[in-house]
Amino acid sequence: MSKIILTGDRPTGRLHVGHYVGSLKRRVELQNSGEYDDIFIMIADAQALTDNADNPEKVRQNIIEVALDYLACGLDPEKSTLLIQSQIPELCELSFYYMNLVTVSRLQRNPTVKSEIQMRNFEASIPVGFFTYPISQAADITAFKATTVPVGEDQLPMLEQTKEIVRKFNSVYGDTLVEPEILLPKNQACLRLPGTDGKAKMSKSLNNCIYLSDSADEVKKKVMSMFTDPNHLKVSDPGRVEGNPVFTYLDAFCQEHHFEEFLPEYANLDELKAHYTRGGLGDVKVKRFLNEVIQQELEPIRTRRKEFAKDIPAIYDILRKGSEKAEEVAARTLAEVKASMKINYFDDEELIRSQSERFR
């Protein structure tokens, strides 16, 4: 069986380092591994509209930001198909048929939907489109017969829901759809990178994100003002590394070679953590090191992003071509789905013949 990747992001803002360690970096590695027959990377604008119906301009503006972030990180349109969700009408058709296979109570139990409803204070007024986006996400994944979906941990419930839809569809209508596997980040710290303020999640509204497109100065400012252990007041005080976002970021970003380069007094992160825990290591020193590490990772991304941004029409061209290719694939799957459901009346000679018999 072919190995196919599908994943994507909602274009509601520029992508940040949480996206990067949680998924983007891995996608590029998977792309370059040569192990996949096809890779589809989707800018999920239709999904973004499910909770931004009154702000289409925000979604529109951010499509190009996300595309630039993708290209800057090393997603290569020669190897990966970059597409815009709303340009593939087949996804709506698939969603419409999958809706019959999912109950309202099952959607209400979806933990991601539950927490997002709370976060947006939607309780009494949930848009139907938002409520059903797990179904549309199942359409995204199955339209491309994806076997592998590299995403963050928060997307686990979406994958569970997709698998259920696939099983249900295949059992009712016969084997048609492919059950996907989620691919989570390997490194625990990358599963959910906290905000620079120590809050559980990076979010634009909390103003606690480091963006891939931030300038070197902005990154430095954000790193140097990061939340750390609030009880670590004097350098000599013992500090806590657990729940300290500076160390979580180091867990996510730093490798041994960074010590040789920027902090040769320590051999590795364990030694640095031990010193911090024992006392005698100041936050400023650790933050300066983190800044060096992050800058080294982001600098080439920033440079490539600026380069790509010089030719915006070319980016739209990449997205148009990618969307066209994606639509061909989705159209083939939709035709199979309709055949399995036996709603392909005009292609079904047997149907036409047997109906003629019946009326003879």
Where does this chain bind ligand TRP (CB under 6 A)? 6-10, 42, 44, 47, 137, 140-141, 149, 151, 155
Nearer to ligand TRP, 51 or 214 (CB): 51
Count the neighbouring beta carbons within 10 Å of the beta carbon of residue 29: 11
**Smallest distance from ligand TRP to CB 146, Å:** 8
Indicate the length of the chain as a whole number. Answer: 360
**Smallest distance from ligand TRP to CB 116, Å:** 9
**Smallest distance from ligand TRP to CB 133, Å:** 7
Nearer to ligand TRP, 6 or 269 (CB): 6
Question: Which residue of this chain has its Cβ atom nearest to ligand TRP in the complex?
Answer: 44
**Smallest distance from ligand TRP to CB 155, Å:** 6
Instruction: Measure the CA–CA gap between 303 and 305, rounded to whole angstroms.
Output: 5
Nearer to ligand TRP, 6 or 165 (CB): 6
Nearer to ligand TRP, 182 or 241 (CB): 182
Nearer to ligand TRP, 49 or 293 (CB): 49
Instruction: Measure the CA–CA gap between 250 and 236, rounded to whole angstroms.
Output: 21
Nearer to ligand TRP, 155 or 244 (CB): 155
Instruction: Measure the CA–CA gap between 160 and 109, rounded to whole angstroms.
Output: 12
CB 193 within 8 A of CB 170: no
**Smallest distance from ligand TRP to CB 35, Å:** 19
* E-strand stretches of 10-71: 38-43
Query: What is the layout of strands, in order, in the sheet containing 181-183?
Result: 81-84, 38-43, 4-9, 148-150, 181-183
* E-strand stretches of 105-207: 148-150, 181-183
**Smallest distance from ligand TRP to CB 138, Å:** 9
| Separation in Å, CA 182 to CA 80, 101, 131, 187 | 18, 21, 22, 15
